[in-house]
Chains A and B, each alone.
Chain A
Amino acid sequence: MITKRIIPCLDVRDGRVVKGVNFASLRDVSSPVELAEFYSSSGADELVFYDITASSDGRRLFADILRETASRVFIPLTVGGGIREVEDFDRVLKCGADKVSVNSGAITNPDIIPRAAEKYGSQCVVLSVDIKRVDGSFHVFKNGGRIDTGLEAIEWIRRGVENGAGEIVVNSIDTDGVGGGFDIEMLRAVCDAVKVPVIASGGAGCTEDFIKLFKEVPDVDAGLAATVFHFGQIKIPELKRVLRAEGIDMRL
């Protein structure tokens, strides 16, 4: 059986890994290449790199980092951040990315998903969505979770899949950075709506959160986290052993 995946996420700015808590107050953590190698050798199933650089210098640095990582780490690499045009897909795929994750770019330029899916295949197109509850319904937020687009999230995701997105990253702003567990209710709603793989993001604080995620949302495919892995609060090999002992399919 296809295993559930454990995915560390590396936010990269100016060539260094940082992680925001509730999308603010960034803390420098480590070198992306070294961290990627460390995660790969400790059993991470995939890596996500988010380029949170604004400047073109930073973007060039990111390309170098990506190329170096993809030359040393042989597990799937997903890249996101600053993906606005189909040409941006080309830019990161050439540096060794396997999948490209689009977030705000799909809101300002909805054509990007069908066009990229046609050119590179759906398996390459990941729709990443920042979601927050507003008056009892799920809203899509953009620009790093700062702006409410007013879009209803489930409908937005359903449309994204129809247009060719091959995977969905659900990032709950409500649970992100809090460490109180994944957003089970939100993830269930997304898994019920689409048949493509769904990655849970936002809220992992301890091993039990991952057990709860995979047991209470059996259709979810992967758990993604940053802080708890970067600071060693959760060690991936140990996490995967525990999950397998709990009857969850894991690559060991």
Chain B
Amino acid sequence: MLVVIDYGVGNLFSLCRSLEAIGESPVVTGDAAEIARADRIILPGVGAFGDAAAILRNTGLDKVVKERAAAGVPLMGICLGMQLLFDKGYEFGEHDGLGLIHGKVVTLNGYIPKEQKIPQMGWNALHFPSPEKKAACPVFADTREGEYVYFVHSYYASECEADTVAVCDCGGVPVTAAVAHKNVVGCQFHPEKSSDAGLAMLKGFCRGEFKGE
């Protein structure tokens, strides 16, 4: 069972339709017991880090997500969901994330050259610095170097080189686009809005074999 976690953060319409388009039947739920039974989990999200992290904590969903991830269940965070996988987020203050990927989420402001617009909104090309890391993550099995995906974000994951699978170029500096650690994957971009390239990644997540499973 594929679960898309519904915790009131963001719009799940496109994500669910894109999963259906690749032949999946996602179950949208915020129920911890149901999430605990999932064999694939997607953590979506749009909005501010602190608010979303607080919802996960207050509903106890943080515990079930961490527990299932530790048990080897493939977990994919998308956009804010990806950022929440990290140790900490610094959007309007300092907030604890799920701590499944080491690193922190900080503002693009001051990192990317100032003529670059924030939010980064639009299509950008994925670069895979390490062929080994790319090959180890089934999400990107059918993704070519330079593939374009759709981004909308003002914050980015930093100090996470060890788990970075893909980056994009923002005015000459690399911005974390995808991270993976064993069965935990995060995409800063929106695969559900990235046309065929994105659908292939979702398929890779839903059907691929993860090490550490």
Contact = CB atoms under 8 A, between A and B. Distances in A.
Judged by DSSP, the binding face of A is loop
B193 A2 contact: no
Given A96-B14, A96-B17, A221-B117, A3 B148 contact: yes
A148 to B, nearest CB: 31
A196 B116 CA distance: 10
B194 A74 contact: yes
B120 interface: yes
Nearest to B202: A74
Contacts of B47: 121
A121 B48 CA distance: 9
Chain A interface size, as a band, is 20 to 34
Given A96-B13, A197-B117, A5 B21 contact: no
A225 to B, nearest CB: 18
Contacts of B119: 122-123, 166
Interface in B150-187: 150-152, 169-171
A159 interface: no
B62 to A, nearest CB: 22
Interface string B1-41: 00000000001011001101100000000000000000000
Interface in B44-70: 46-47
Contacts, number: 82
A31 interface: no
A123 B193 CA distance: 14
Contacts of B192: 74
Given A1-B171, A74-B195, A166 B121 contact: yes
Interface of B: 11, 13-14, 17-18, 20-21, 46-47, 116-125, 148, 150-152, 169-171, 192-196, 198-199
A-B pairs with lowest CB-CB distance, top 10: A251-B148, A2-B122, A71-B17, A251-B123, A96-B13, A3-B123, A123-B152, A2-B124, A74-B18, A76-B193
Given A70-B13, A222-B122, 12 more contacts: A2-B122, A3-B123, A40-B195, A70-B14, A72-B21, A75-B193, A96-B11, A96-B14, A121-B46, A123-B46, A123-B119, A197-B122
27 contacts: A1-B125, A2-B116, A2-B117, A2-B123, A2-B124, A2-B151, A3-B124, A40-B195, A71-B17, A71-B21, A72-B17, A72-B21, A74-B18, A74-B193, A74-B196, A74-B199, A75-B195, A76-B150, A93-B13, A94-B11, A96-B11, A96-B13, A123-B119, A166-B121, A167-B121, A195-B117, A221-B117
